[in-house]
Amino acid sequence: MEQLLQQIEAIKKEIAEATATGQAEVEQYRIKYLGTKGLVKQIMGEMKNVPNDQKKEFGQILNAFKLVAEEKLEQLQAALGDSAEVDDSKDYTLPGDTVTVGTRHPLNLVRNQMVSIFKRLGFAVAEGPEVEDDWHNFGAMNLPADHPARDMQDTFYVQEPNEEGAAWLLRTHTSSVQARVMETQKPPIRVICPGRVYRNETISARAHCFFHQVEGLYIDENVSFADLKQTLYFFVQEMFGKDVKVRFRPSYFPFTEPSAEMDISCQICSGKGCNICKHTGWVEILGSGMVHPNVLKNFGIDTEKYTGFAFGMGVERIAQLKYQVNDLRLYSQNDLRFLQQFKSV
């Protein structure tokens, strides 16, 4: 302990003689004596080697030693005062750097607006996994393993089908979320299912290997095709304005019967004809129909009591008409020149 006391006295003498003519030297003093690896810290660490009957006395000596070092630091800083070194190469009166304001992605803007419109009609939001099993993605939607309609969708398989036909895949539509809702809820059911879906397609201006959908499902007593049409009329008028024209065309989907596609008057050329509408004045925006009885039976829903309708649309297609974006690749390239155009939206 005697040797340690001598070391403390020697360091205290160094501290008393310490001087500083600039902020850099003050910082050097602080690091040398009071830093995490400084001399004061090292001396304090010797406390573990002091006999127990001397710890109280030695602790007081160490605290006084630390105070000496701290008071000297304060003295050096005070003595420096206005003479502290200033970097004359910088103009401290200039304003700070501008903070860039972020924006929502255009697809998120459109999806949020779509969800908001359907929420006002009483639809709840439902979500599900993007990696899905074959049953919820295909089988439950009236698409058995040998159904030719499966060829309508090129699928990314995570795990190839085994002998029983079970497989894992990236969902090709958010209808799989509807299946999970029907699996866990009893009618009445009224949900929309927004989310990202995947299909094995060549990336181009008009197609991508992933895109976004908003699908809807309504099941209750006495639900009719007229209810479906009025729901979709309300949606397009809220999204595109009261002047939008609408038409329904017969179509085919395995999970609805009857089925229809809905077209609206082209919002880019006002129905006069352009490349987007292929010079017809009309653009298809969604598929819809009455839920097929086989789909209801798959989930134990009484088809004598309940009926329902379903619809699905691509968020990219709605955004294309709303913002006149003609290349799907722009949405996923993270080009700030493109994204910053939506600041005021």
Q: Report yes or no: 187 and 303 within 8 Å, Cβ to Cβ.
A: no
In a domain, 254, yes or no: yes
Q: Report yes or no: 103 and 338 within 8 Å, Cβ to Cβ.
A: no
Q: What are the tens digits of pLDDT across the range 293-307?
A: 999 999 999 999 999
In a domain, 98, yes or no: no
Please check whether residues 181 and 236 belong to one and the same domain. yes
Q: Report yes or no: 267 and 244 within 8 Å, Cβ to Cβ.
A: yes
Q: Which two tokens stand for residue 160?
A: 């190839």
In a domain, 130, yes or no: yes
Please check whether residues 62 and 121 belong to one and the same domain. no
pLDDT given for residue 216 in this prediction? 97
Is the omega angle on the peptide bond into residue 129 within 30 degrees of 0, that is, cis?
no
In a domain, 92, yes or no: no
pLDDT given for residue 5 in this prediction? 80
What are the strands of the beta sheet with 210-220, ordered from one edge?
124-125, 189-198, 210-220, 307-314, 282-291, 256-265, 246-253
Please check whether residues 203 and 304 belong to one and the same domain. yes
Residues in the chain with pLDDT < 50? 84
Please check whether residues 327 and 224 belong to one and the same domain. yes
Distance of alpha carbon 209 from alpha carbon 198, whole angstroms: 6
The residues with which 218 forms a beta bridge, in sequence order, are 190, 309
In a domain, 96, yes or no: no
Buried b (16+ CB within 10 A) or exposed e, 185-215: eebebbbbbbbebbbeeeeeeeebeebbbbb
Residue 180 belongs to domain with CATH number:
3.30.930.10
In a domain, 79, yes or no: yes
Please check whether residues 158 and 45 belong to one and the same domain. no
In a domain, 94, yes or no: no
Residue 122 is classified by DSSP as T
Please check whether residues 111 and 215 belong to one and the same domain. yes
Please check whether residues 14 and 113 belong to one and the same domain. no
Please check whether residues 162 and 244 belong to one and the same domain. yes
Please check whether residues 179 and 31 belong to one and the same domain. no
pLDDT given for residue 149 in this prediction? 65
Please check whether residues 76 and 134 belong to one and the same domain. no
Please check whether residues 127 and 64 belong to one and the same domain. no
pLDDT given for residue 286 in this prediction? 95
Alpha helices in the chain (DSSP H): 2-17, 23-29, 39-44, 55-80, 106-119, 134-137, 175-184, 225-240, 293-298, 315-323, 336-339
Distance of alpha carbon 265 from alpha carbon 244, whole angstroms: 6
In a domain, 187, yes or no: yes
pTM > 0.75: yes or no: no
What is the number of structural domains in the chain?
A: 2
Distance of alpha carbon 248 from alpha carbon 284, whole angstroms: 9
Q: Which helix (H) or strand (E) covers residue 169, if one does?
A: strand 168-170
**Residue 61 burial (CB < 10 Å; 0-12/13-18/19+)?**
middle
Q: What is the domain range of residue 12?
A: 2-83
Q: Which of 162, 138, 164 is nearest to 149 (CA)?
A: 138
Please check whether residues 157 and 17 belong to one and the same domain. no
Distance of alpha carbon 220 from alpha carbon 74, whole angstroms: 78
